[in-house]
Amino acid sequence: MEASNIDHSSKKASVVLKEKVGHVNVASTSHQKGATPATRNASGSPLASDLPTVRPYTAVKHNDKQSESSWWMKVSELLSRCGGGGSGKRGRRKSSLLPGNTQRHLRANDRKFNEQFKYADNFIKTSKYNIITFLPKNLFEQFQRLANFYFLVLMILQLIPWISSIVWYSTAIPLFFVLAFSAAKDAYDDIQRHRSDSQVNNRVSYVVKNGQLVEEKWMNVKVGDVIRMENDQFVAADLLLLSTSEPHGLCYIETAELDGETNLKARQALPETFEMGDKLSLISDFRGEIVCEAPNNRLNQFEGKLSFGSSTLPLDNDKMLLRGCVLRNTRWCYGVVVFAGKDTKLMMNSGKTKFKRTSLDRFLNILIMGIVLFLIAMCLMCTILCGVWEWTTGRHFTIYMDWDRTIVPKADEKSSQQIAIIAFLNFFSYIILLNTVVPISLYVSVEIIRFVHSMWINFDRAMYYKQADIPARARTTTLNEELGQVQYIFSDKTGTLTQNIMAFKKCSINGRSYGDLYGARGEIVEITEATKAIDFSRNKWYEPSFKFYDETLLEDTRKGLHEVTEFWRLLALCHTVMPERKNGKLEYQAQSPDEAALTSAARNFGFVFKSRTANTITIEVNGMEEHYDLLCILDFNNVRKRMSVIVRNASGDITLYCKGADTMIMER
């Protein structure tokens, strides 16, 4: 066994280039993934086990039973060597649904049956108000601000003539303008939500009815309807995939609206339903019954079973298309609605629209509370001094200004009780007189600043993403100052708030290091921007952005050195990259940037990954296409820390390619 190391972006990986097991060739390489796999576990639970996932399409048919048994024994031996566990059973995993009322039961193409369960329709609502609820609800929210509540109480006190020397509208008019300005801004934000909801609810989808495609607005789609999706369309609801235009029932989706990931993910229909294709008569007559979990917010988990005819088939997340996904690289697909509207996983994760208070609002409430306490303290002091003055001096002035007998009925007695009543009433008079201690314009000023800041965000060229033609957009004018209150960022992986730029810099194959430049004396020469990179333009699939400087690797590749060519072949075959054609150019969609960098390096050195299906993969080596049967995929996970594929070439040789963390590969 020969071993060497790959040094890629400061991450080490190992290579085992050749090992003979009978007549089965084993080649493997590894690189440590720099990012968590794009499909995240929404519930946070650990991965189930270290056992490999053998996909339904990995089984290969043989005419001779003995040869099939012999073939599977070899594959099992390879699996055990790769550390994948080992079970010769190739059946589907059974689904275990939770008992009780945690299930949903529906029937495809049968609205009457499904209506008895009163499932939610596909109408969504993210707005907070309507015409009837706007005024009371908005006023309730605004009076949660302490300053607004304070001035409301002050206005009520001014309506009492015995304690007020200021007309009530002197407070009511400014308060009205404060409330009106905030209400207008909240109404503007909510109108935008209503427009967005209307735009989404009125999108058109095509529902299969009586053997025909009928246009339906999204809000009129019901649970159990079978709808047709076109390429680059948003998925209208949470669907069970039935059939697609691609071989083996595959389709590709982009989940950026759900988890922020822009790489494509594959979904596969059941073989039993994929046979319907786009035959509307068969799809319209389909009456499959689905029993599945109740609506929940777990994006990456789904359990259920599909029953039709005499078959009962397990369902998992790989059969589901969630609302908010975009169909890519697939001409069409059909799916049956399982969850609609507020029951979809997207809306379950959105939560209920509620009134949000910012850190500044909470701070202002505390500040206003302190000012009010200071005001009360001043008024108490004035009240005490008023009582003392009334007792010692003020009662002698009643000859000229008598006390109001409606308040002090026994004014002639001039006792301490009457003086206490007068002092108590004067306490509220002092509050009215000193009310300007609390600035009524404070919240208006803050709201104006927020509105202007939101406009600045919308017009900020420094926040414009030129590659995708996406400007920054403030979706609300009430929360923008929260951006300045962030102290800690808890990110699940790199790339969420940062940009991962991985570049293939070095590798070591069969003990020889490639990537460094050496001078005349044998010393390593520093690579700068002025250093001339290798010209890969002879390769029609080369990428102008790819830079590599050590020509010895290119020379050894063109010489056809076995270890070097096997190294590149491994990088071209062992991955989960999805190819995509855009404007005649070949582009790769990868789950991690380091995997994209390795596949891109193989492409520029003449080993071009061109296409894949459920059970085949095609690469181009120096202008000649090579086709491989993809027998098995053992996906990367955090327990195994490696990924493996088993392929069969045109000569019938079966090869296992494995890549992963150096600690997992070197020990093998």
Comparing CA positions, the residue from 193, 425, 224, 419 lying closest to residue 335 is 224
Q: Could you give the CA distance from residue 195 to residue 157 in angstroms, rounded to a whole number?
A: 42
354 marked as part of a ligand binding site: no
CB atoms within 10 A of CB 656: 27
CA angle 272, 274, 276 (to 5 degrees): 95
Dihedrals phi, psi of 465, to nearest 5 degrees: -95, 100
CB 331 within 8 Å of CB 245:
yes
Distance between first and last Cα of the chain: 10
Strand 24-29 versus strand 654-660 pairing type: parallel
185 annotated ligand-binding residue: no
- Annotated ligand binding at 492? The verdict is yes
659 is in an annotated binding site: yes
Whether 126 has a binding-site annotation, put simply, is no
- The secondary structure of 124-188 as a DSSP string is -------TTTHHHHHHHHHTTSHHHHHHHHHHHHHT-TTT--S-THHHHHHHHHHHHHHHHHHHH
Crossing angle of the two packed helices 562-573 and 593-604, in degrees rounded to 10: 130
Q: How far apart are CA 280 and CA 286, in angstroms?
A: 10
Residue with token string 């509540």: 149
Q: Is 595 annotated as a binding residue?
A: yes
Q: Which of 232, 316, 404, 492 is catalytic?
A: 492
Instruction: Quote the CA–CA distance of 65 and 658 in Å, as a whole number.
Output: 28
Secondary structure letter of residue 511 according to DSSP: T
Please give the Cα distance from 640 to 79 (Å, whole number): 12
Residue of 619, 653, 613, 651 whose CA lies nearest to 633: 613
Distance of CA 562 to the CA centre of its chain: 43
Amino acid making up residue 185: K
Distances (CA, A) of 289 to 122, 230, 311, 444, 665: 20, 25, 11, 57, 46
Q: How many CA atoms lie within 13 A of 383 on its CB side?
A: 20
User: Could you give the dihedral angle defined by the CA atoms of residues 423, 427, 428 and 433, in that order, rounded to the nearest 10 degrees?
Assistant: 120
Residue 400, amino acid: Y
Residue 61: both structure tokens together: 């048919």
CA dist 217 to 324, 344, 346, 515, Å?
16, 17, 19, 57
Secondary structure E strands in 523-623: 524-525, 578-582, 585-589, 607-612, 616-621
Rounded-to-integer distance, Cα 13 and Cα 666, Å: 9
Catalytic residue status for 492: yes
CA torsion sign, 238 to 241 to 246 to 250?
Answer: positive
Cβ proximity of 223 and 344 under 8 Å? no
3-state secondary structure 91-136: CCCCCCCCCCCCEEEEECCCHHHHHCCCCCCCCCCCCCCCCCCHHH
Catalytic residues: 492
Could you tell me which residues are annotated as the binding site for Mg(2+)? 492, 494
Could you tell me which residues are annotated as the binding site? 492-494, 595, 636, 659
Could you tell me which residues are annotated as the binding site for ATP? 492-494, 595, 636, 659
